[in-house]
Amino acid sequence: MKKQFNRMRQLANQTVGRAEKTEVLSEDLLQVEKRLELVKQVSHSTHKKLTACLQGQQGTDADKRSKKLALTTLAQCLTEGSAILGDDSLLGKMLQLCGEAEDKLAQELIHFELEIERDVIEPLFLLAEVEIPNIQKQRKHLAKLVLDMDSSRTRTSCPPTCTVLWPKKSTMQTTFKR
């Protein structure tokens, strides 16, 4: 409680201008700190939009994604149609070829989405939800420590405002008697 009171008193004195304020961050770091919240907002919104653009479910393996993908369903339908018509007809061969092409497209799309998720979406999420909040937490902790340091420096450098507690009279007499 006393530490919080000293922090608030030091902060008030710094605001009014009666006490020195220690600057621990350079101008470049102050500019970066101002942009930090903007970076957090942009990375968070980009993460949301990229996740919404994925056609498969995020976080599932390739087999589960392929079952729910429209291209895979179309490929299965075309392959089934070619099996019904047979390889003898021209339409059956064409359906078989188109079914294989659609299946390859579906597999490429799944592979692409997995890469995007691993290389872009997860790092953006970590940046917005883990790294930037850690930086902000450390900055607040640094500000508290600087206030404590300034408060301690002010208290030790101002002897007129400090009170000295003298020992009681009875203890003084016993220590000086020989």
Computed over every residue of the chain, the mean pLDDT equals 80
pLDDT, tens digit, 9 for 90 and up, residues 10-53: 667 666 665 566 666 677 877 888 888 899 899 999 999 998 88
pTM of the model: 0.63
Query: DSSP secondary structure string, 128-165?
Result: IIIIHHHHHHHHHHHHHHHHHHHHHHHHHH-GGG---P
pLDDT, tens digit, 9 for 90 and up, residues 98-126: 999 999 999 999 999 999 999 999 999 99
Burial label for 37, CB within 10 Å (0-12, 13-18, 19+), is exposed
Q: Domains (ranges, CATH) in the chain?
A: 26-155+162-176 (1.20.1270.60)
> What is the predicted pLDDT for the residue at 177?
47
Residue type (1 letter), 44: H
> What is the predicted pLDDT for the residue at 100?
95
For the residues 156-176, what does the mean pLDDT come to? 55
Burial label for 143, CB within 10 Å (0-12, 13-18, 19+), is middle
> What is the predicted pLDDT for the residue at 116?
92
**Percentage above 70 pLDDT, the chain:** 74
CA 160, chain centre distance (Å): 48
What is the greatest pairwise CA distance in the chain? Answer: 125
- Yes or no: say if 102 and 66 are a contact pair by the CB < 8 Å rule: no
Rounded distance between C-alpha atoms, residue 167 and residue 171, angstroms: 7
Q: Token match 């405002």: residue?
A: 161
Q: How many CB atoms lie within 10 A of CB 108?
A: 11
> What is the predicted pLDDT for the residue at 79?
94
pLDDT, tens digit, 9 for 90 and up, residues 56-104: 666 667 777 778 888 999 999 999 999 999 888 999 999 999 999 999 9
Which pLDDT band, with edges at 50, 70 and 90, does 130 fall under? very high
Closest among 161, 141, 150 to 13, alpha carbons compared: 150
pLDDT, greater one: 168 or 96 = 96
For the residues 4-13, what does the mean pLDDT come to? 69
